[in-house]
Structures are given as structure tokens and as C-alpha cells.
Structure 1
Amino acid sequence: MPRRPLERSGTSRIRAVAPTADATVSIVLAVYDPPPAVLVAQLDAIAGQTSSDWECIAVDDASTDPVVVALLEEWVGLASNRRLIRRPVNGGISVATNDGIDAASGSIVTICDHDDVVHADAVDALVRHFRDHPDHDVVYTDEQLIDADGVVLADYPKPDYSPRRHLGHHYLAHLVAGRRDAIGDIRVQREFEPSQDYDFWLRVIERSEAAGRRVGHIPRVLYSWRAISGSSALDANEKPEMCDAVRRCAQAALDRRGIARTATTVIHDGTPTTSVLLGPLDTVDEPSIDVVRIVAESSVDDVNAAVIASEADVICLLAPDTHPDARDDAEWAMALAVEVLDDGVGAAGPKIVDSNDRLVSIGRVVQPTLDDRL
């Protein structure tokens, strides 16, 4: 939870901790005119880390609020592991973040938002994870959603890393950290704002995986994402351009990887909700498909008989009253068949809602293995 604001007198109440001479973790904090109170909460949280093995590069992107500027100058002046870069003109979050990455000297780099709250043991957890997992180049953590006053709205426990899921959903979000060697010359690209962090980590992970490295997950809430007006944490519609940016990030990743698919955006009741991947892969020959439409009177024996009689590569079972959205049965079956034949997936199912938009099934994917050790 956020601590009380800095007391802007001649001295600060922040605990003075001697910084490590060569900090392991570089925290990049791009700042542009946040509400002073929420900036103070984040600065307080960074300063209150249980580990001193960090540096923070705060990049003021030409803030117009003199209170924000004064807060940054005061905070940076309290310890030698805090640096302030003041940009003469506003360049946007991507440019400001890149300035911070360029200035970072730590072997681990993480990017934080100016209006969120990093938890006290976040740096310690990151350092420990990379030390204990030398084959990991990127790691992310669980998080929680807080309101403008810092009240916890919900925790967000995340699954372990899935490259397929990450293509349609940047669930890594906050807090993400990467080894500086893996980041190398990769920088945030302005054309993908406001999803520039999604594109950035996709590219870092691609480089890492190409080198046989892995992505780790710390299953602990180590970051609070603040839901305030104008933030996508509050409502995706607060940033209507975000869904298109997510789609473009996913499409760019598909293109880089040579995967002949198209990323598209699902619109529900006029609202963009998510990105999905459609269309066959060049590497997959068109499969033979049997569509078995089950009716209310169908028995288990009826379904088994239909499956046994089929010689198709893929069998699609359509439940009673299932009506594929905007597709005929064959097109719907082909979309699922591609998922089944790609990457050795044993079975796949889509999200299903009823006529009242109530969730019936979240979908399922089965990946069988012949290795009894797994």
C-alpha cells in the first residue's frame, strides 16, 4: 500500500539506505505530470525497498507542473543511487523510457510507471530470482489493482509464461524485468504507443528464446497498478487506441517470426475486447475435417460411433445450440483445426457465450506428452 506523502520540508522522512556501489537493478521511471500525490507514493515505495541493490533513473519528460519537478529534484537529491534526467521537450513515454534505459548501469532493468506502486521487496525478489535461475533472461510478477486512493480492488495472480498466450494478451504487464545483456540494443518503439511495453518485451523475449533462454514468473504480488481516470487499468475504453496498438504489436511479432497469420480485434457491443489470431499457417497443410453436430437427443454412443467412423485428421464436435459467430461450421472447424495441428496441441476449444452473453466455456487446450516425467 502507498505510504504517506513526502514531507516537503528541509528534510525527508524517507529511510536513508546506503546504496550498493554497483547496483544490480536499474529502475527506469518515466515521469510526465502525474498527480503529485501518486508520484510521491511511487517514489516513496522505490526508496523503501528492503534491498539497497538498486538505482533509479527518473526521466522527467518536460513536465509542466512545477510541483512534480520539485518533488523529483528533492527526491533525487536524497541519495546517490537516484538520478534525474530532465528532457527539454516532451517526447512521449517511449522516448523518455529509452533515455532511462540508455542511462541504466545495472545488469537487470525494469520499467515502472510514475503513478503505480512497486512493493517493498520487489527488488530483492528480482535479484533472488535471476540469481537462482541463471537460464532466465526475463521475469514477471503477479500484481494487484488499486484505486486512486491506494485501496486494493483486486489481486491478479498470473499463469506461468506461455508464448501463445502472450501473442494475444500482454499479461506480463507490471512488473517485468530483463537482463541487460538480453535487452542489448532493443528499445521502446513510439509507433506502438500506448502498448509500447508489450512490443518491447515481445522483442526482448524473442531474442532470449532464440538463444535458448527462458522467461520466469515470480508468483507473488509485487506491484500495484493504479486504476485512475485515463488509465487502461480502470477501463480499456479509457485508451481506445490501445486495442489497435495491441493488434499491431501481435501482428509485428507474427511477421518477425514468419508466421502467416493475421491478428485481428474482436468487437463486442461496439467495444474492442481482445485480440485473436486467425487463419492457417503456411507450415500446416490443409487438414481433412469432420464436423459432428451433436443434437439434444445424441447419446454418448452416438458421438463415439461418429468419432470411430471418421478417418479425418481432425474432428470438431459442435454442441447443441452452438452457433459459430459470423462463420459457417466448416470455417469455424478449420480455425480450430489449425490450432490443434499447430505446436502439437491435442485438443482446443473456443470461448462460448449464450444468447444473453453469459459465459458458458472459457475454452480449453490440451497438450499431451509421451514423456512420463512431465
Structure 2
Amino acid sequence: MEAGFLDGTQGPLFHVLHPPRTAEAKGCVLYVPPFAEELNKSRRMVAEQARRLAAAGYAVLLPDLYGCGDSGGDLPEARWDGWLDDLRLCAETLCERFPAPLYLWGLRTGCLLAGALAQGLQVPPAGLVYWQPVSNGKLFLTQFLRLRMAAGMMGGDRETTTELRNRLGAGETLEIAGYALTPHMAQALEAARLSSPPQDTPVHWLEVMQGDAPQLPPASQRKVDDWREAGANVHATVVSGEPFWSTQEIRTVPALWQKTLGCLQRGSERAVAGTSPTTQPLVSVIMPAFNAAAYIEEAIDSILAQDYPNKELIVIDDGSSDDTVARVQAYGDRVRLLTQANQGSAVARNQGLDAAQGAYIAFLDSDDVWLPGKLTAQVGYLEAHPEIGMIYSEWLPWKPNESGHFPAPENMVPNLAADLPPPEQLPIVPEGSGWLYNRLLFGSLLHTITVMARRSLIEKVGRFDPELKRGQDYDYWLRASRQTEIRQIDRIFALYRLHGGGCINQWPDVNYEQLVVEKALARWGLEGPDGGRSDWTAVQRRLAYACFNFGYHHYWQGHPKLARRAFLTALSKHPLHLPSWRYAGLSMIKSMVRG
């Protein structure tokens, strides 16, 4: 982070610069702050967003407007047109240092300035990001004047907004909530309207509303609809949270940080490289979801934030009873939503496979997240190695802290994108790569949320087995391992969320792990497609341990009869396994006591 002053047109401009934490900038982001106290209330939100954008490869400039914050002058000396000239200077300075596409990011009245600036730039910005935009300066001025009215009522005064406007019109400067409002500034606000975006400049309209299923306010929706009818490319999103720009205490809305990052990253790779997304292979991402409202937005955002441009996301709702569907629908045409009665994740993934159009297929569960660079790295690796049909990566468990909150993903694996070599040079994990059939007999090496496969391989392997309520992915990797060499990239690209509602905490009544392995052995035996052969005794012991583990969990969950059967099966495969003897006896006693 760098702090300093620029020589503005009205006087010195204080600014904070967050340089990109990557070798080259993906884009330049110029922040346009709001008016009066809203600037101070929002500083924490803005500073954290800037840090996150810089970590993702963006150069971010946060200026204080002249007469505001730590910049020179006092507010009565500032002029609206002077602010526009200063912002133009900031944009030129930022892009001169970091030659990359320019994005304008405004908050509240800052959106009025950003919109006007966008129309006046010689080269239109690559995108506009509007946080809680004020579209009508006259209405904002009325609300601002009401702060004076409210304070006056407490002292016995009963001024109206009309009277206050008349005093401003007569040349009087008014003090409102500790800020001096000059006639010139009032006149500029009165006349300001949110400008239509330049042609082909996408607009990301982001609002924060309170409630479980917030909706865009009617006035905002009308503006968005009008722009869309005029041919503008507008993406409107609402996140749940408190109005951080006006709350008494300083507040943050973490969901807004991730949404904003996703908005900027979509298409930024195309802007930097000058590559059309249609020239790159399409990746279809399949996400089954069941009662996932608590986490699905983070999962979706982590996909949309991937810098690989040519992707489609297919969410299959498996009969959710919460507002999962509504949360997905809020993304509009950026996400394709399919629905079905509750039939399990295997059926949901199969429906996704049927709908997928991509040359590559990837998977993410609705409560997990991807880290930056996953799609670009995996597509690049497969493009460079046409003999490989499937790849996967490393992952990390994602646990809540003592307060029950999950750490920010970028704090789990910092500077991931900055450390990535070219995709074709990505290192692999030797022990997790190769013809994996024999190794997979001893455990499911692949985690579904890290996998990418060629469509041609998917067509050979077929569909997920809907009879397997658990382990359908393990079964799929075993089947795939008969068709292709599989490689593991030596990079962490996904976080697996550990929470009370996950399947890892709920044991089924069927030992699907044993079932999957025995099914593979019955079909293909001990010999892999590369000629390697597994030891029969070792495989039997592996199955014995799976049975013991299954029985152990059910014993402590209060199912002694089910546990006893599992321990006896374990002993049939590994008679010398003493823990199985011990727990077989204990489960028999517990069964007899319970009758």
C-alpha cells in the first residue's frame, strides 16, 4: 500500500494506492467516494475491498476528493466540475503506471461522478461497478437537507426543504450534519443524474438490503430495466446486509466484497489478453444443491470470479425447501438453473451432464469454494497434455474459527494466483498421478470439487450411479481410471467446508465404500489397465479397515446391531485385526442389553 498526494486541479489530492500483488495488473480500479459523512462510514468496507482486489491482481486507487478527508482545501472551496477534472487526472495517472483496462467503482453519489466521468473519457472504461448508486441527485439533496430539518426540530426550528433550498438559492451556505453545503454544490447535486453507460461498457449494479431474500428497490429496478431496454449491459445484484455507509456503528458486508471481485474478474482476462472467450474451450461447471441457501452464493461467486472467461455454470436444485432457488435466480442469466424433485446428488449431477455444452467438465458442491486461477490452470494443463483425460488438484479443509465464522478464502492460501507458473508447466504430485486404478482400490484420491475432465472421457465413462447414495464419485473415478491416465496438480485450488450439515458428519446405513470397491473388483479384478496388479491380501485388509471404520462410527452413534455386522465382516477379511474382535464383543453386549 502506498499513500501520497497528487497535484489536483483545485489543490493537493490525498490518495491511497493498492498495487496489484501479481506480476502484471489485470486491471486498474479507480474508486469514486460518496458525499459527506458517508465517506467516513464506508472507509473500512472500501479499504478491505481494495486489499482483496489488489490480491487478485488489480491496481486500486482510493482518492479523497478535494475538500474532503485528507485532501487539501475545505468542502466550501470544492466544485463538482473540479472533482470530475481531478478524477480524470487520477484515472490517467493510474493507467499510466499500470497499463491495463480501467474500471470505475463508485459508492452512492460517487456513482453520479463515475457515470459522468465515464462519458467524458477518451477511451470508455472496461466496466462500471456501482455500490448502492444514487441515480437522482435532487432526491439525494432532499434527503441531505432533511438531516438539517431533523436537527432543527430538536431545537425548536421547523424549516422545510423548500425554505432551505430558497436560502441556498439566495447564496447562503448551510451547515448540515457538520458539513458546509455551498449554493454551488447544492446546485450541482440538484442537477446531477446517473448517466447512461457508454456503449459496450458493462455495468455491475450492486445493492445492499436487509432481510433474508432482499430485492432490488423499485426505483433501482426501473433504472436497470430502462438501461437494458436501451441496449446497455447491466448486471444487477442484491446482497443481504446493513447499510454500512449510514449505520451508527461501523459495519461491513463481506458478501459484497466477494460479489465485487467476481464482477471485475469476469472478462478481465479477455480484456488483458485481447482474446475472445469463444476461441477458448467452454468449461461446464456442474453444481448440485440441496437446502444450500446458507453457502451457495459463496460457491457461485468463487466460480464467476474465475479469470477463465469461457465458462457456464449449471446449478441443479435437488428439491430444496429453503430459498436456495431464489438465491440462484438472483444471478440472472449468469447461472443456468435446473430443478428436480429430491433424488440425490448423483441424479442431479447426471442432469447437469446432460445439459452441459462444454469441452471440459468440472464440479463444485454448493457449500465449497474454488480459489483463483483454478479453471485457467486446469484448462491450460489439459490443452498442453492431450493424452490426459482427467486432472485434479490439492484442497484444504475449511473449518470455522472460535466465533463460528469461516476464514476468508484468500487468507487460507495467500498469493495463490501470483505464484502460479504457466499452465503447461504446473508441477504434478507423482504419487497421485498416473494410471490410478490400483491406487484407487485403497482409497478415493480425487476430491470431486477439484476435478476437471474432458467431455470425451465423460462420454466413455457414462453417468454417476444413482443407486449409490454415497460414494458415487469414488465409483466414477474408479471407472475413469480404466480409461485414462489421471494427474494431480501440485497446487491448492479448492476449500472443502466442514460444517454440521455436511454429509461427512452423517453416516449412512450402507457401507458404500466397501460396496464401491467390491463392485470394481468384481468387474475388473486386481489388474490395472497399465498391467499393474494389487496384492489380494492388502486389498482384503483395506476392505476390513473400511468395515471397521463403518462399524466404529455406528457403535458410538448408538447402532450396535449394525456395528456388530460390520465388525464381523471386517474379521472375515482380516481375522487378526484385534480392534475388530474387541468392538464385535462390545457391540454384541450392547445389543443384548438393549434387547
Shared fold (TM-score, shorter chain, > 0.5): yes
Partner deviation per Cα, 1:127-163 (whole Å, 9 max, x = no partner) = 11101211110101000111253337999x9742343
Aligned-pair Cα RMSD in Å: 3.6
Other-structure match for 1:202: 478
Could you list the runs of 5+ residues in structure 2 that have no partner in the other structure?
1-51, 53-205, 209-213, 217-235, 238-259, 268-275, 414-427, 527-535, 555-565, 580-595
Q: Give the 3-state SS of the residue equivalent to 1:150 in structure 2.
A: coil
Q: Give the 3-state SS of the residue equivalent to 2:486 in structure 1.
A: strand
Q: Aligned partners of 2:457 and 2:277: how far apart in 1?
A: 23
If asked which structure has higher relative contact order (CA below 8 Å, sep 6+), I would say 1
Could you list the runs of 5+ residues in structure 1 that have no partner in the other structure?
209-213, 280-322, 328-374
Other-structure match for 1:267: 548
Q: Give the 3-state SS of the residue equivalent to 2:307 in structure 1.
A: coil
Other-structure match for 2:263: 15
Q: Aligned partners of 2:207 and 2:493: how far apart in 1?
A: 22
Q: Aligned partners of 2:467 and 2:442: how far apart in 1?
A: 18
TM-score (norm 1): 0.62
Partner deviation per Cα, 1:63-111 (whole Å, 9 max, x = no partner) = 211x21111111143x3xx311122x22211111100011111111112
Identity among equivalent pairs (%): 23
Q: Select which of 308, 320, 323 maps to 1:51.
A: 308
Over 3 Å counting, the alpha-carbon distance change for 1:167 and 1:258 in structure 2 is closer
Over 3 Å counting, the alpha-carbon distance change for 1:125 and 1:90 in structure 2 is same
Other-structure match for 1:83: 336
Q: Give the 3-state SS of the residue equivalent to 2:444 in structure 1.
A: coil
Q: Aligned partners of 1:249 and 1:154: how far apart in 2?
A: 33
Does residue 124 (structure 1) correspond to residue 398 (structure 2)? The answer is no
Tell me which structure has the larger Cα radius of gyration. 2
Other-structure match for 1:136: 388
Aligned length: 266
Q: Aligned partners of 1:252 and 1:140: how far apart in 2?
A: 24
Other-structure match for 2:593: none
Q: Aligned partners of 1:227 and 1:46: how far apart in 2?
A: 19
Other-structure match for 2:173: none
Q: Aligned partners of 1:6 and 1:181: how far apart in 2?
A: 42
Q: Aligned partners of 1:113 and 1:6: how far apart in 2?
A: 26
Over 3 Å counting, the alpha-carbon distance change for 1:23 and 1:62 in structure 2 is farther
Q: Displacement of 1:171 after TM fit? A: 2.1
Q: What code does the residue aligned with 2:486 have?
A: V
For the 8 Å contact 1:23–1:55, the answer to whether it is kept is no
Q: As a proportion of its length, which structure holds more strand?
A: 1
Over 3 Å counting, the alpha-carbon distance change for 1:37 and 1:6 in structure 2 is farther
Does residue 250 (structure 1) correspond to residue 517 (structure 2)? The answer is yes
Pairs within 5 Å for 1:270-289: 270-271=552-553
Moved over 4 A (4+): 5-9, 152-155
Q: Select which of 506, 520, 523 maps to 1:239.
A: 506
Other-structure match for 1:33: 291
Q: Aligned partners of 2:514 and 2:500: how far apart in 1?
A: 23
Other-structure match for 2:463: 187
Pairs within 5 Å for 1:198-237: 198-208=474-484, 214-233=485-504
Q: Select which of 419, 434, 441 maps to 1:167.
A: 441
For the 8 Å contact 1:195–1:242, the answer to whether it is kept is no
Q: Give the 3-state SS of the residue equivalent to 1:45 in structure 2.
A: helix
Other-structure match for 1:24: 282
Over 3 Å counting, the alpha-carbon distance change for 1:242 and 1:199 in structure 2 is farther
